[in-house]
């Protein structure tokens, strides 16, 4: 398994928010699911770039599902 990489920037907002909600509600997180998106001032999840690269990175660590902000289109 590859070494963990640092996660940061606006794209990590949804993941960090999900992790905090899970921590405070004593919920478990499915490690085969990843999420990306910035948290907007109105609390909605906003768009991020680099979706194809993020999909590739997620697959490389065994993710089975990636949640991306609504309205984002992935083309190959």
- Which residues have a catalytic role annotated? 11, 54
E strands within the chain?
A: 33-35, 38-39, 45-46, 65-67
Cα-to-chain-centroid distance, residue 33 = 8
């Amino acid at each position: 398994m590859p070494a963990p990489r640092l996660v940061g920037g606006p794209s990590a907002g949804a993941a960090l928010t999900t992790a905090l909600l899970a921590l405070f509600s004593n919920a478990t997180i499915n490690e085969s699911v990843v999420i990306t998106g910035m948290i907007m001032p109105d609390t909605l999840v906003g768009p991020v770039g680099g979706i194809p690269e993020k999909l590739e990175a997620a697959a490389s660590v065994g993710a089975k599902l990636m949640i991306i902000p609504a309205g984002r289109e992935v083309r190959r």
